[in-house]
Amino acid sequence: MKTNTVFEEIKDLVTEKRNPATLDIDSKSTEDILRITNTEDKTVPYAVEKEIPYIAQAVEILVESFKNGGRLIYAGAGTSGRLGVLDSSEIPPTFGADPTLVQGIIAGGEKAITRAQEGAEDIKENGAKDLMAKNFTAKDVACGIAASRRTPYVVGAIEKAREIGAKTLYVTCTPREQMNIKVDVAICPVVGPEVIMGSTRMKSGTAEKLVLNMLTTTAMIRLGKVYGNMMVDLQMTSMKLEERSKRTVMIITGVDYETAQKYLQEAGGHVKTALVMILKNCTRKEAIERLQKGDGFVRAALEL
């Protein structure tokens, strides 16, 4: 019997297999369904843990790129694409990074973020086209996200990135031995069959979200945007972030609310500068100079 090429591609994928633990899930009670799902979800962090050596390699590539003026561009479709867009949108308010530093492209464009654009993922050339619309260069890093590994849109973006000499990463939930796409680093948390066959918005999506969190958060720490375990490069763009900035200064330096507010105002709202001003009892100008000499790290600025 003749079958479709795509049928042949997906029939043996781990992400498309039936889960033996959930064969009769449709006959279970609400609480039993939730417990079964939760049990399966618990396996995800362990799958990600096995990939830490590869995640570390990817972080090193990102840090080098960022220091040399490069950017990270995620490429994905469906759930994977939305996760890339989500992660990129959270970097500026969390770490005070330029909004262009981490970006995401998704098959079907912006409308695909809120409504599925089925079929858009099948157009390979659009991945390359959307990547280049971001003015992608060899200084940048492209990270493909595809639970199944095979998504044409994602493959197209990655092949284009390699063509122009950029570093490439790939996050997929298929085994490493099945990874047949050339990239600098592949991250392959194998979470096994989904609770509902093929619904990769579940365990696969969770694994992808964990990996993306690790990639960008670790890179931001390595760039000096964290002091201790506190965000110190956040932007005071909302009342919550404004009050979090004050609280951060209070916790690290031990000053009261009014003093923290005063120094933040003098520092132009820049938490790092306010911290150095207080802890080194110096002017704003000197604090800025210390931070520049310390490559943006508060700890280094204080130790000068």
Residue ending a domain, choose from 222, 241, 270: 222
Q: How many CB atoms lie within 10 A of CB 204?
A: 30
Q: Give the distance between the most distant pair of CA atoms in the chain.
A: 79
**Domain, as residue range, for 245:** 226-303
**Structural domain contains residue 13:** no
CB 113, CB 84: distance < 8 Å:
no
282 is written with which tokens? 């110096």
Residue ending a domain, choose from 198, 222, 246: 222
Residue ending a domain, choose from 222, 244, 277: 222
**Considering its fold, how many domains does the chain have in total?**
2
Distance CA 189, CA 174 (A): 7
177 & 91 share domain: yes
237 & 258 share domain: yes
**Structural domain contains residue 32:** no
Sites in the chain below the pLDDT cut of 50: 1-2
168 & 185 share domain: yes
212 & 236 share domain: no
**Structural domain contains residue 9:** no
Residues annotated as catalytic (active site), given as ranges: 90, 121
Amino acid at site 80: S
pLDDT averaged over every residue in the chain: 94
**Structural domain contains residue 15:** no
56 & 192 share domain: yes
Q: Residue 116's pLDDT is what?
A: 85
291 three-class SS: helix
The CATH number given to whatever domain includes residue 75 is 3.40.50.10490
**Structural domain contains residue 295:** yes
187 & 243 share domain: no
The CATH number given to whatever domain includes residue 283 is 1.10.8.1080
263 is written with which tokens? 């120094």
Stated pTM of the model: 0.92
**Structural domain contains residue 78:** yes
211 & 256 share domain: no
Give CA torsion, residues 276, 281, 285, 287, to 10 deg: -20
Sign of the CA dihedral with 13 first, then 113, 168, and 296 last: negative
130 & 234 share domain: no
Select from 152, 155, 160, 204 the least CA-distant residue to 181.
155
Which residues in 223-237 are b (16+ Cβ under 10 Å) and which e? bbbbbeebbbbbbbe
